[in-house]
Amino acid sequence: MSCTILAIESSCDETSAAVISDGKILNNIVATQSVHEKYGGVVPELASRAHQQHLIPVVAEALRTSGVSKKDLTAVAFTRGPGLMGALLVGGSFAKAFAYALNIPLIEVNHMEAHVLAHFIEKPYPEFPFICLTVSGGHTQLVLVKNHLNMEVLGETSDDAVGEAFDKIAKILGLPYPGGPHLDRLAGKGNPKAYSFPLSDMKGLAFSFSGIKTAVLYFLKENIKQEPDFIATHLEDICASVQFTLVKMLMQKLVKASREHQILEVAIAGGVSANSGLRNTLKEAALENDWQIYLPKLEYCTDNAAMVAMAAHYKYRAGIFCDLDISPLAKMKIGYHG
């Protein structure tokens, strides 16, 4: 069944559109929102307004560069959730109007499932079943992927996401927004064993990252008392030690999940999957545990419409569409379709 789909992503602070034709991504247009930089974090209302400004030009560029006209489209897809409610409303409303005007089907996509399915944009593809560690500013989950449309969350964070921990600690250290990539860059120059921070001790496959933020804050306060320029003098070692601890917390649970479910196909996805410390540690763990690992291209780690388009492709093939009155779900869970 031939299909050409326009996909829209607007869950947070990236406005993105992509076109997919018979499973092949034709483009992936992304407009970033620099308005948040001076606030040190995403401001939901400003994100919604920026989506309104960017969406029409981004969609027009996606259609133009793909060589696909509106009449060639067989469906329109959009991120239903999870995400910022206002941002989701902008993208969802646009997608509904576009589908209605063209009288073509509408497809809702789970943002976190889309991150997982980014692994099917380009070969090599993971073999089912596989375990995917999805890590971002809003989520930290271990997902058992049984097929393209059947996923189960094995464990997730009980409080903060690991991406939030990276960004908040980076902010404490005085790094620019977004802080995670800056912390990663500095960590590459430091000693990961310079300082020790506590690991969370959650049962099963659950994560917790609120404690390390507090631990780092008190650690800095105590050392600044003795050495006022402590952060500036030891910044690279601090970043390396923080990153080492956060990555170790992720890897402990990933190894545990792989052994419990006897699965050697392992992938990572989401914004934090671009972190060099995590990627390098995963490669080392693959040798120790005989894993076949899958690392997404950097352009498919952060929020983008190509992954939404790929998820929509599989839903289209399965005949899974939604009504025009469907509402966004800010806390949409993996495995929920309704």
Confirm whether residue 134 is marked as ligand binding.
yes
Asked if residue 277 belongs to a known ligand binding site, the reply is: no
Q: Output Rg (C-alpha) for the chain, integer angstroms.
A: 20
Is 184 annotated as a binding-site member? yes
Place of tokens 């430091």: 190
| 138 annotated to a ligand binding site | yes
CB within 8 A of 277, min separation 6: which ones? 184, 187, 188, 192, 243, 244, 247
Alpha-carbon span 105 to 262, nearest angstrom: 39
3-class DSSP state of 258:
helix
- The secondary structure of residue 176, as a DSSP letter, is P
Please tell me what DSSP assigns to residue 272.
G
323 annotated ligand-binding residue: no
Is residue 135 part of an annotated ligand binding site?
yes
Residue 166 exposed, middle or buried by CB count within 10 Å (0-12, 13-18, 19+)? buried
Q: Is 275 annotated as a binding residue?
A: yes
Q: Any known ligand binding at 188?
A: no
Contact 60, 308 (CB under 8 A): no
41 annotated as ligand-binding: no
- Annotated ligand binding at 66? The verdict is no
Residue 295 CA: distances (Å) to CA of 189, 244, 272, 274, 309? 23, 19, 11, 9, 19
- For the chain, helix, strand, coil in percent to 5 are 50, 20, 30
Determine whether the annotation assigns residue 111 to a binding site.
Answer: yes
In the block, which residue shows the tokens 């659950």? 206
Binding residues for Fe cation, as ranges, are 111, 115, 303
Binding residues, as ranges, are 111, 115, 134-138, 167, 180, 184, 275, 303
Binding residues for substrate, as ranges, are 134-138, 167, 180, 184, 275
